[in-house]
Amino acid sequence: MKLITFLLVLTLTACVNQTQKTLYEQLGGKDKITQIVENFIYEIEFNETIYEYFKETDIQRFHDKLIEHICVNTGGPCQYTGDTMAQVHAGMNINESDFNLTVDLLINAMTKADIPHPLQNKVLAVFAPMRKDMIYK
């Protein structure tokens, strides 16, 4: 009985500790975010539709600023030094379909980085409110 009680307490403690972690920590920190961003860039590079939006982009800047952006918005210890989402996407006139395709590419990038689906959903929930700053701008 003591062993069962001990295991129950250990399990509950692990659950509590997991919920106390920031999303940044749950993702695995900056190294894992960097992996996601690099996977995402790869996904974009091989998607003809979405690549069109990025063909004139300074990819190194995009890489660095997206890491900062994800880090900050998931509770990490970073500072975002880029432009607002509305500024970044101004004049791109991204439509609903292409926006959704880009989200699919991000999901692919997270999957390739071994991010579990429940955690992917948390990331998407953080960024979903920014949608209005990205489409039809």
Q: What's the total number of domains in the chain?
A: 1
According to the 3-state scheme, what is the secondary structure of 32-59?
HHHHHHHHHHHHHHCCHHHHHHHCCCCH
| CA-angle at 37, arms to 35 and 42, nearest 5° | 95
Is 108 inside any structural domain?
A: yes
Identify the domain containing residue 44 by its residue range. Answer: 24-133
The pTM assigned to this predicted structure is 0.84
Is 8 inside any structural domain?
A: no
| CA-angle at 129, arms to 85 and 67, nearest 5° | 50
Lookup result for tokens 């990025």: 54
Q: Is 98 helix (H, G, I), strand (E, B) or coil?
A: helix
pLDDT, tens digit only, all 137 positions of the chain: 554 544 444 445 555 555 699 999 999 999 999 999 999 999 999 999 999 999 999 999 999 999 999 999 999 999 999 999 999 999 999 999 999 999 999 999 999 999 999 999 999 999 999 999 999 88
Domain containing 120 — which CATH number?
A: 1.10.490.10
Q: Which long-range contacts (CB under 8 A, 24 or more apart) does 111-114 make?
A: 112/39, 113/32, 113/35, 113/36, 113/39
Is 5 inside any structural domain?
A: no
